Structure 1
Amino acid sequence: MKNKTVAFIMAGRRQRRRRWILVTSFLALLACALCCAMLLLGSTIYPIQDVVRALSGENIKGVSFALNTIRLPRMLAGLFAGFAFGLAGNTFQTMLRNPLANPNVIGITSGSSAAAVFCIIILHTSNAVVSIASVVAGLATVTIIYLLSRAKPFSVGRLILIGIGMQAMLNAVISYLLLVGAEQDIPTAFRWLSGSLNGSQMHELPALVISVLIGTPIIVMLGKHLSVLELGEQSAASLGVNTDLTRMVLILSSVCMIAIATATTGPIAFVAFLSGPIAKRLVGVGFSNAIPAGLVGVNLVMAADLVGQFAFEVRFPVGIITGILGAPYLIFLLIRMNRKGNL
């Protein structure tokens, strides 16, 4: 009887692992296909062989310029920013055990956005300064939220409420800046606030790539602790997890990725909010959905960018398309949580 029980548990675990591998592989292949589409498609559709030759360093008239200056930076920005938004959003939602606890809702991206708009409208600074200010403001915002909510015992609800209040205040600051700003600066600010891959340049990407390459292994290595934190503060502490240290490392890793991604592409709406739930539904329970959530973020950003470029007569920034997708889900989630008495 005991052997049958063990065999049944192991069979279930193998089935869940196969599902995780299949889903993750599918998401990775879909991301690769979307990467190829972003390189091939544009105002001119280039043959695959010309794109490969241009990527290998050969100078092909028209193709090399369009690829290296416009399409490749745009694709890489979507790839790494999407992964950063998806992974960080899933980390917040899992750690705080609440689907509303993501950087978009609790004010982190609003802090980055307020700093960027201030630099664009008031200080008239360069893109580099806007990016630096955006990262610093994002880190400062999450620090303030965490310190204000750090009473004992730690309360997820308290952190979310403080974050929502911070978001409302920062959005009011953004609205004020847009009202008092010069007319010629408003389009630039709105383009940044909408979240867009337009104008992405290679020299802006190293910080984003480095943050993802450093933050991803940290979050993956802390995956078991993250799963334990999902059980609750007291359960995690009783199992030997240093909850404060683990939470701080996870928050810093996630916020660095979110802040730098926001500084690079602007606050692409709802990617961090949608990626975790979609990945969890696809992967199921039993294994970490950190990497699948990052890949879902990649696919959302790239697919939305392609839709925004080619599905309409007017080209829309990627943030507009993801906002259209995310807003109904947010309303649905709020209604469901209210019915369950979680609000």
Structure 2
Amino acid sequence: MKTLSRSRAVRTPGGLSLRLDVRALIVVVLLLAAALAAGVALIGTGDAKIPASDVLETLAGNGTAYQDFIVNELRLPRVLVGLLVGASLGLGGALFQAVSRNPLGSPDVLGLSQGSTAGALVVIVLMSGSATQVTVGALIGGLVTGLAIYLLAWKQGVHGYRLVLVGIGVSAIVTAVNGYLLTKADLVDAARAVVWMTGSLNGRDWEQVWPLLWLCAVLVPLVLAGARGLRMMEMGDDVANALGVRVQRVRLVLMVCAVLLTATATAAAGPVSFVALTAPQLARRLTRSPGPNLVPSLCMGATLLVTADWASQRAFGADQLPVGVVTGVLGGGYLLWLLVTERRAGRI
């Protein structure tokens, strides 16, 4: 059977020669189409159901005043937050797994999500802060946790397995701190904290969309600019250094980008679990391509989260589950399968 060519050389008008992975490009296009289709279906889902054709008409500016309010003011921000949060988590997970050279090297395992949760809990429990203050607290908590993991893992550079082990230890400590904070909260604040910790897109509006959009507009090109160095680093630090890559500098920049992406996504939607772990792995299996697969992981994360949010509203009748519950169940099953596969392969 004839197989699809792995890559093709493309010449730009300036005379540069680029190598294009055809299969990866097809996967990206299909994932984008699936994400957009799921987004349209999600916009039409709710107490006031709107057909997909009317959703598209309204997005094009041809809907009624009622449809315009429902689509553009109430539901579109939620879908955009879901797409941006999923894309940020997918890209952040791909970066951590590439830097650590470990399929378990994701923000969920390394403790970054728990750090963001700790920052949010401090604001909720100790300060009774507003939603905006909770968002800021989650962002600060994620950044502080990421800095602590990097410093503790540093020993003449940061290496993959040491980073994962330190992250697991930090995650255990921060999880214990989060449990302590919950015991100190009164009933109202504890209920509010538990709802936030589940991970949900309910009530998201344009105030959450714009910071995520601007962050992605800045960080995604920066990450893609470092993709070549990241591919070299997957062959080992010594090989990358011999090829002219400033390993520690590239690793630091990409880790800062990954921490910012993860912390901001968590601040916007709460700790939505396992998207950062599963999206890069699924993207790599679809593309069958070596390397970090940054763009496919980004698209896979967006598709997973919006599809999970749609399923949380449609698959359980009148009971709408937070999206974090759905991703937790599916991601936990995937993690068990991944551990069994890695053990059978002799890698753990």
Identify whether the pair has TM-score above 0.5, normalized to the shorter chain.
yes
CA distance in 2, matches of 1:171, 1:14: 47
CA distance in 2, matches of 1:133, 1:328: 31
Q: Does 1:234 align with 2:238?
A: yes
- TM-aligned CA deviation for residue 37 of structure 1: 0.9
- TM-aligned CA deviation for residue 339 of structure 1: 4.3
Q: Does 1:323 align with 2:328?
A: yes
Does the aligned pair in 2 maintain the 1:116–1:131 contact within 8 Å? Answer: yes
The TM-score normalised by the length of structure 1 is 0.92
Does the aligned pair in 1 maintain the 2:41–2:52 contact within 8 Å? Answer: no
CA distance in 1, matches of 2:106, 2:333: 16
With over 3 angstroms needed to count, the CA separation of the structure-2 counterparts of 1:63 and 1:236, relative to structure 1, is same
Does the aligned pair in 2 maintain the 1:50–1:60 contact within 8 Å? Answer: no
The equivalent residue for 1:14 is 8
The equivalent residue for 2:161 is 157
- TM-aligned CA deviation for residue 79 of structure 1: 0.8
CA distance in 1, matches of 2:125, 2:241: 47
With over 3 angstroms needed to count, the CA separation of the structure-2 counterparts of 1:153 and 1:252, relative to structure 1, is closer
- TM-aligned CA deviation for residue 338 of structure 1: 3.7
CA distance in 1, matches of 2:122, 2:68: 36
RMSD of aligned residue pairs (Cα, Å): 2.0
Moved more, 224-233 or 58-67: 58-67
- TM-aligned CA deviation for residue 334 of structure 1: 2.5
Note the alpha carbon deviations across 1:64-89, whole angstroms, 9 max, x for none. Answer: 33223321111010010010000110
Q: Does 1:138 align with 2:132?
A: no
Moved more, 44-53 or 85-94: 44-53
CA distance in 1, matches of 2:100, 2:134: 30
- TM-aligned CA deviation for residue 223 of structure 1: 1.0
Structure 2 residue aligned with 1:333, among 313, 321, 338? 338
- TM-aligned CA deviation for residue 220 of structure 1: 1.1
- TM-aligned CA deviation for residue 288 of structure 1: 5.5
- TM-aligned CA deviation for residue 329 of structure 1: 1.8
With over 3 angstroms needed to count, the CA separation of the structure-2 counterparts of 1:260 and 1:96, relative to structure 1, is same
Residues 70-219 of structure 1: pairs in structure 2 closer than 5 A: 70-152=74-156, 154-219=158-223
Note the alpha carbon deviations across 1:237-258, whole angstroms, 9 max, x for none. Answer: 1221101110011011111111
With over 3 angstroms needed to count, the CA separation of the structure-2 counterparts of 1:52 and 1:140, relative to structure 1, is same
Residues 41-60 of structure 1: pairs in structure 2 closer than 5 A: 41-48=45-52, 50-52=54-56, 54-56=58-60, 60=64
CA distance in 1, matches of 2:320, 2:110: 30
Q: Secondary structure at the match of 1:212?
A: helix
Number of aligned positions between the proteins: 334
Q: Secondary structure at the match of 1:105?
A: helix
CA distance in 1, matches of 2:36, 2:172: 38
Does the aligned pair in 2 maintain the 1:108–1:138 contact within 8 Å? Answer: yes
Does the aligned pair in 1 maintain the 2:35–2:307 contact within 8 Å? Answer: no
The TM-score normalised by the length of structure 2 is 0.90
Residues 304-315 of structure 1: pairs in structure 2 closer than 5 A: 304-313=308-317, 314-315=319-320
- TM-aligned CA deviation for residue 152 of structure 1: 2.2
CA distance in 2, matches of 1:12, 1:204: 39
Identity %: 35
Note the alpha carbon deviations across 1:300-327, whole angstroms, 9 max, x for none. Answer: 1011101111110311011100111111
CA distance in 1, matches of 2:71, 2:259: 31
- TM-aligned CA deviation for residue 47 of structure 1: 3.7
